Amino acid sequence: MRLSRSLVPTLKETPAEAQIASHRLMLRAGLVRQTSAGIYAWLPAGWRVLQNITQIVREEQDASGAQELLMPTIQSAELWRQSGRYDAYGPEMLRIRDRHDREMLYGPTNEEMITDIFRQSVRSYRELPQNLYHIQWKFRDEVRPRFGVMRGREFLMKDAYSFDLDYEGAVISYRKMMLAYMRTFQRLGVKAIPMVADTGPIGGNLSHEFIILAPTGESQVYYDGAFEQIDPTSGDFSFDSPEDLARFYETLTTPYAATDEKHDTAAWANVADKREGRGIEVGHIFYFGTKYSGPMGLTVAGPDGKTLTPHMGSYGIGVSRLVGAIIEASHDDAGIIWPDSVAPWKAAILNLKAGDAACEAICEEAYTRLDGQALYDDREDRAGVKFADADLMGHPWQIVVGPRAAAAGRVELKRRATGERAEVTLSDALARIA
């Protein structure tokens, strides 16, 4: 995109309402604008980041064998009465009456709906296991929304739901999701650690949350240095092998890791390689057996003709929250430092002298050759403004085009993460970016 004709409204001033780094930087870099308390519009740059994250989440869910579908945002209260959660859920549920005075709600999660769809469609044990996910907007009517997209009211979540014939099958599904999650977070350029968690309103008796390490995170975390050595993308772990999954699960759940809520000082004393830091929850997985399938009457015919009640789990990733969490994990005083995989554009092209023929020729060539992967700062503005905005927006690469170097057919290539700069030909710059 050409910045002069784009809706990328960067701000010099720090908005007063933003208390944490990611909120400040998302507003200043023109990623989002608040439209009501805790509700955000994703402007073009922010939307590109959100789509990049969504696509990585999707690919790793698909790789695990999960099927994507899409459930609607508006649900009937009736379904939630069947599970007993309608009255239990409290004021965070956005309750709605339609024109016929029917009780509806904006879904905060989808255990009831997916169980209903599954019980209408699936009859036989032969059709299990299945894992179904969607990436859909949810609403949680927070009493005091804050921290930008980290604790907003309308938020994007990936939620998956597994159906297995028995506990043993459900454990395999649970472990598959743990592997998919670790691969997802690794591709997103952040370090995540699973920690045993409370099950909260979802229920069940096995649960882990995934905590991203970030210096400005919301929770204090304690973990074993062994986590630094685990590579979930190594070929050692296959989704098709229950043995691999068991080994992966053991690798990830044996070393000590806890948030301050669950911190066990006695166990901590025995950890050889103690690490402490701050963390942000970005995912949460649950096994809850027949908590929904039981009361909602989901059964399938078993091999012997008897009916079975499937065992279920659910698996969430806070997709819009991840945008904030990644920024908390990766920024400096000048702005965001996007991991390459999620950056809105791979590179910014900074024309330091609009109107200079050599500068414009190189910029246009770079823009064409980067084919949609560059933001071209073609504004009639001072170089200092362009440098500051490029650092603020956090493009992994900056192609800086000044008149002197341009006349010699060269550009300055800057790597945002390290600050490294080099004067090179445009072709060399593009080769490094690709």
Q: Binding marks (x or -) toward a second copy, 132..161, rule CB under 8 A? A: x-x--x-x-x-x---------xx-------
Of 86-94, 281-289, 335-343, 409-417, the segment contacting a second copy by CB under 8 A is 86-94
Q: Give the integer Cα–Cα distance in Å for 433 and 216.
A: 29
Binding of a second copy by 47 (CB under 8 A): yes
Of 110-118, 337-345, 352-360, 419-427, the segment contacting a second copy by CB under 8 A is 110-118
Hey, which residues between 11 and 40 contact a second copy (CB under 8 A)? 30, 33, 35-37, 39-40
Six-digit token pair at 349? 């092209």
Binding of a second copy by 236 (CB under 8 A): no
Q: Give the integer Cα–Cα distance in Å for 139 and 131.
A: 23
Q: Give the integer Cα–Cα distance in Å for 194 and 182.
A: 9
Nearer to a second copy (CB atom), residue 163 or residue 227: 163
CB of 247 to a second copy, least distance (A): 24
Q: What is the DSSP letter of 14?
A: P
Nearer to a second copy (CB atom), residue 378 or residue 391: 378
Hey, which residues between 344 and 403 contact a second copy (CB under 8 A)? 372, 380
Nearer to a second copy (CB atom), residue 122 or residue 385: 122
Nearest to 232 by CA among 170, 190, 184, 197: 184
* Secondary structure in 3-state letters for 350-368: EECCCCCHHHHHHHHHHHH
Six-digit token pair at 363? 């910029």
CA 433 to chain centre: 24
Q: Per residue in 155-178, is it b (16+ CB within 10 Å) or e — as a string?
A: bbbbbbbbbbbbeebbbbbbbbbb
Task: Rule CB under 8 A: choose which of 17, 81, 87, 126 binds a second copy.
Answer: 126
Of 127-135, 173-181, 209-217, 342-350, the segment contacting a second copy by CB under 8 A is 127-135
Binding of a second copy by 240 (CB under 8 A): no
Binding of a second copy by 75 (CB under 8 A): yes
**Contact between 345 and 390 (Cβ < 8 Å):** no
Task: Rule CB under 8 A: choose which of 72, 200, 201, 225 binds a second copy.
Answer: 72
**Contact between 416 and 391 (Cβ < 8 Å):** yes
Q: What is the DSSP letter of 417?
A: T
Task: Rule CB under 8 A: choose which of 12, 13, 16, 70 binds a second copy.
Answer: 70
Q: Give the integer Cα–Cα distance in Å for 72 and 277.
A: 38
Task: Rule CB under 8 A: choose which of 26, 27, 43, 53 binds a second copy.
Answer: 43
Q: Give the integer Cα–Cα distance in Å for 266 and 250.
A: 21
Binding of a second copy by 113 (CB under 8 A): yes
Q: Binding marks (x or -) toward a second copy, 301..340, rule CB under 8 A? A: ----------------------------------------
Q: Give the integer Cα–Cα distance in Å for 12 and 385.
A: 9
Q: Strand order of the sheet with strand 397-401?
A: 374-377, 347-351, 397-401, 410-415, 421-425
Q: Give the integer Cα–Cα distance in Å for 377 and 358.
A: 16
Task: Rule CB under 8 A: choose which of 12, 16, 99, 420 binds a second copy.
Answer: 99
**Contact between 137 and 109 (Cβ < 8 Å):** no
Bond from prior residue into 129 cis (ω within 30 degrees of 0): yes
Of 124-132, 185-193, 270-278, 299-307, the segment contacting a second copy by CB under 8 A is 124-132
CA separation, residue 120 to residues 23, 41, 51, 297 (Å): 43, 36, 32, 10
Of 113-121, 240-248, 275-283, 424-432, the segment contacting a second copy by CB under 8 A is 113-121
CB of 63 to a second copy, least distance (A): 11
Task: Rule CB under 8 A: choose which of 80, 86, 118, 256 binds a second copy.
Answer: 118
Q: Give the integer Cα–Cα distance in Å for 345 and 331.
A: 17
Which residues are 170's β-sheet partners? Answer: none
CB of 130 to a second copy, least distance (A): 6
Nearer to a second copy (CB atom), residue 139 or residue 315: 139
Interacting residues with a second copy (CB under 8 A): 1, 4-7, 9, 30, 33, 35-37, 39-44, 46-47, 50, 62, 67-76, 79, 91-92, 94, 96, 98-99, 102, 104, 106, 113, 116-118, 120-122, 126-130, 132, 134, 137, 139, 141, 143, 153-154, 372, 380
